[in-house]
Amino acid sequence: MLLGERMKEHKFATRAVHAGQHPDPLTGSVTVPIYETSTFVFKSAEQGAARFAGTEEGYIYTRLGNPTIKALERSVADLESGEDARACSSGMAAITTAVLSLVKAGDHVVSTDCIYGGTVKLFLGILSQFGVEFTMVDTSNVANTKSAIRANTKLIYLETPTNPTLKLTDIKATVEVARKHDALTLLDNTFMTPYFQRPLEMGVDLVIHSLTKYLSGHSDVVGGIIVGSKTLLKKMDPTLKNVGATLGPFEAWLTLRGIKTLPLRMERQNENALKIAKFLEQHPKIGKVHYPGLKSHPQHELAKKQMTGSGGVICFEVQGGLEAGRRLMNSVKLCTLAVSLGAIETLIEHPASMTHAIIPKEERLRAGITDNLVRLSVGIEDADDIIQDIEQALEKA
Ligand SMILES: Cc1ncc(COP(=O)(O)O)c(C=O)c1O
């Protein structure tokens, strides 16, 4: 049976299928059972007390732990080269749990400026009301990060590549800056997944994911996860357990199933995205195309250094402004007009009026999220069919 430490000897694709899981000892079920229960029986009052006291291992109540969720946590921890993980009810719940556990009123956080809109709202609209200070900078230039650091900086929050403009931050250089100032680093690795980028191996302290995206991969789960050292994750427990942002066992099971095909999906999405990005780059109705796998991406060399692929998200500007972009999105037939990303089907959306509408226009423009920017999350369909669909839609744009 492939388990625990032994998994480290195996390659990623093998670990994606097996890590953290074993046949059910009770029934022999090959797949991890869905322990769809809110609570667990104690053999005696003494056992219940011992489990609450932490002197005996075992499950108590699903908000505090559940075997299906534990299998998922072991799986993602293994793939990310972390010691352990904590699953949460959404990507936002993972970010909230992690940041709330690491900072308090009076602390300062430096963050990548162009990040997922919900994270911007959480930082500037919610956590800043509780006395946590945030400085949002373009972390693609490490000098900006360095000069934003203050005496009370406790955390550097990174999203690389950024959603939606696909700018990269030099992970190793930023970790060096953080360590010099005794600040922790937390990185949203949703876009790359551990298949293409493993930040913990580059010295980052904690990684978070929206499991909703590539890890589950089929547009049927909302979930999140935090991965890192056992010591740091222990710090997350009071927040996770008492705020209650726990993932459900069924969502954990669906994600475990999704992870088994993660390498296959990532390879195909990466290959499709590069082909589509090259097609878009030469199309007369398209302006800038943002995709780290393109030689024209300003950080293509850094991409090759810290990522082993570029993923499935492409952003591009449609000439003719917002109206032309809208006509394109209203004319696609195969691509699905919907937010989210990382699933098997190709999704198309408009960041300025949808995923990033929450960010004030001025800040949006400063971050490069123009009104004519369209985001494409490339699926696993045949790339030629996707290209044909975009081509016919561009004729109407
Ligand atoms: C990069 C990134 N991080 C975090 C999130 C939030 O994840 P969730 O929707 O699972 O809360 C998203 C959502 O789109 C995202 O794109």
- Per-residue confidence (pLDDT) for residue 59, from 0 to 100: 98
Contact between 190 and 118 under an 8 Å Cβ cutoff? The reply is: no
Which residues, including other chains, have CB under 8 Å from residue 387's CB and lie 6 or more apart? Answer: 275, 276, 279
Q: Which residue is closest in CA terms to ligand 1's atom 9?
A: 91
- Per-residue confidence (pLDDT) for residue 368, from 0 to 100: 87
Element at 208 (helix H, strand E): strand 206-210
Q: Which residue is closest in CA terms to ligand 1's atom 6?
A: 91
The answer to whether the CB of 78 is under 6 A from ligand 1 is no
- Per-residue confidence (pLDDT) for residue 9, from 0 to 100: 85
pTM for this predicted structure: 0.96
pLDDT (tens digit, 9 = 90+) per residue, 267-288? 999 999 999 999 999 999 999 9
pLDDT (tens digit, 9 = 90+) per residue, 229-238? 999 999 999 9
Q: Among 137, 388, 168, 200, which Cα is nearest to 300's?
A: 168
Measured torsion, CA atoms of residues 362, 365, 370, 375, in degrees rounded to the nearest 10: -110
Instruction: Provide the token pair at 370.
Output: 């123009």
Q: List C-alpha distances in Å: 90 to 78, 299, 385.
A: 20, 30, 32
- Per-residue confidence (pLDDT) for residue 7, from 0 to 100: 67
Q: Among 163, 284, 281, which Cα is nearest to 293's?
A: 281
Helix or strand or coil: residue 133? Answer: strand
Q: How remote is the CA of residue 170 from the centroid of ligand 1, in Å?
A: 21
- Rounded CA separation 341/214 (Å): 7
The answer to whether the CB of 116 is under 6 A from ligand 1 is yes
Residue keyed to tokens 């492409």: 314
- Rounded CA separation 326/357 (Å): 15
The answer to whether the CB of 224 is under 6 A from ligand 1 is yes
The answer to whether the CB of 210 is under 6 A from ligand 1 is yes
Instruction: Provide the token pair at 228.
Output: 């890192």
Q: How many CA atoms lie within 13 A of 393 on its CB side?
A: 25
pLDDT (tens digit, 9 = 90+) per residue, 185-203? 999 999 999 999 999 999 9
Q: How remote is the CA of residue 205 from the centroid of ligand 1, in Å?
A: 20
Ligand 1 site-directed mutation target among 163, 191, 211, most atoms within 8 Å of CB: 163
The answer to whether the CB of 190 is under 6 A from ligand 1 is yes
Q: Which residue is closest in CA terms to ligand 1's atom 10?
A: 91
Ligand 1 site-directed mutation target among 190, 208, 358, most atoms within 8 Å of CB: 190
Q: How remote is the CA of residue 313 from the centroid of ligand 1, in Å?
A: 13
Residue keyed to tokens 């650091």: 149
Measured torsion, CA atoms of residues 174, 310, 195, 307, in degrees rounded to the nearest 10: -40
Q: How remote is the CA of residue 122 from the centroid of ligand 1, in Å?
A: 12
Helix or strand or coil: residue 372? Answer: coil
For 155, phi then psi, to 5°, come to: -145, 140
The answer to whether the CB of 163 is under 6 A from ligand 1 is yes
What's the full length of the chain, in residues? Answer: 397
- Rounded CA separation 317/350 (Å): 10
The answer to whether the CB of 270 is under 6 A from ligand 1 is no
pLDDT (tens digit, 9 = 90+) per residue, 35-84? 999 999 999 999 999 999 999 999 999 999 999 999 999 999 999 999 99
Contact between 113 and 148 under an 8 Å Cβ cutoff? The reply is: no
- Per-residue confidence (pLDDT) for residue 360, from 0 to 100: 87
- Per-residue confidence (pLDDT) for residue 367, from 0 to 100: 84
Per-chain mean pLDDT for the chain: 96
Q: Among 59, 15, 54, 8, which Cα is nearest to 38's?
A: 59
Q: How remote is the CA of residue 46 from the centroid of ligand 1, in Å?
A: 42
Instruction: Provide the token pair at 27.
Output: 């029934």
- Per-residue confidence (pLDDT) for residue 6, from 0 to 100: 54
Q: What pLDDT band is residue 2 in, cutting at 50, 70 and 90?
A: very low
Q: What pLDDT band is residue 363 in, cutting at 50, 70 and 90?
A: confident
- Per-residue confidence (pLDDT) for residue 4, from 0 to 100: 47
Eight-class DSSP state of 316: E
* pLDDT over threshold 90, residue 31: yes
- Rounded CA separation 111/185 (Å): 10
Measured torsion, CA atoms of residues 229, 78, 303, 155, in degrees rounded to the nearest 10: -20
Give catalytic residues, as residue numbers. 63, 116, 188, 213
Domains and CATH numbers, the chain: 11-259 (3.40.640.10), 262-396 (3.90.1150.10)
For 50, phi then psi, to 5°, come to: -65, -35
Instruction: Provide the token pair at 247.
Output: 């993932």
pLDDT (tens digit, 9 = 90+) per residue, 370-393? 999 999 999 999 999 999 999 999
pLDDT (tens digit, 9 = 90+) per residue, 85-138? 999 999 999 999 999 999 999 999 999 998 999 999 999 999 999 999 999 999
Angle at 305 between CA 301 and CA 310, to 5 degrees: 75
Q: Among 257, 317, 254, which Cα is nearest to 281's?
A: 317
* pLDDT over threshold 80, residue 264: yes
The answer to whether the CB of 212 is under 6 A from ligand 1 is yes
Q: Among 71, 103, 108, 105, which Cα is nearest to 87's?
A: 71
Q: Which residue is closest in CA terms to ligand 1's atom 2?
A: 116
Q: How many CB atoms lie within 10 A of CB 233?
A: 22
The answer to whether the CB of 188 is under 6 A from ligand 1 is yes
206 DSSP β-pair partners: 186, 228
- Per-residue confidence (pLDDT) for residue 1, from 0 to 100: 43
Angle between helices 383-396 and 321-331 (to 10 degrees): 130
- Per-residue confidence (pLDDT) for residue 238, from 0 to 100: 96
